[in-house]
Amino acid sequence: MITQVVERTIDAYTGGSIYPEEWDWVNLLEKASQLFLPLDCLSAEELAKMHETEVRELILEKALAHYEQREKEVGTENMREIERLVTLRVVDQKWQDHLDAMDQLRQGIGLRAMDKGILWWNINMKLMRCSNDDCRNTGGSS
């Protein structure tokens, strides 16, 4: 999981460029420090001198070391509990977002269906009036 987060973060700030001078080093390090690296463990100047694969390996190595350090501080059992709670919170938030989106979709469809229902009802009423008028004009009964 850590590897995937590190890779996605690096990919997001490299912009798909193979040239390290085009990478957004400052924002990459800022985002990395928010997600998985301790503050000021790497500098943009240090990374700018490295090749892409070296940068990826170094950041991943630092992230894994930081994770292991935090696990020692908190304890293995507590770390697993924190992981479960965070996972549950993320899944719960995604589920709430999904339910909100479905509710908005249902409301939008309901409004459109109601609009169409009103339109259909108006058309039917006009047709019935027309047919009644036609029947009256022709002398028939309805």
Residues 60 and 114 in one domain: no
| Angle (deg, nearest 10), helices 25-35 and 2-14 | 160
Q: Which of 74, 93, 120 is the last residue of a domain?
A: 74
pLDDT score recorded for residue 141: 47
Give the model's pLDDT for residue 93: 96
Q: What is the DSSP string of 49-81?
A: TS-HHHHHHHHHHHHHHHHHHHHHHH-HHHHHH
Clarify whether residues 23 and 69 are in a common domain.
Answer: yes
Indicate if 65 and 94 belong to the same structural domain: no
Give residue 112's pLDDT: 61
The length of the chain is 142
Q: Which residues of the chain have pLDDT under 50?
A: 138-142
What's the whole-model pTM score?
0.61
Number of domains in the chain: 2
Q: What is the DSSP letter of 23?
A: S
Domain that holds residue 118: 80-142
pLDDT value at position 71? 93
Joined together, the tokens standing for residue 75 give 């304890």
Same-domain check for residues 35 and 52: yes
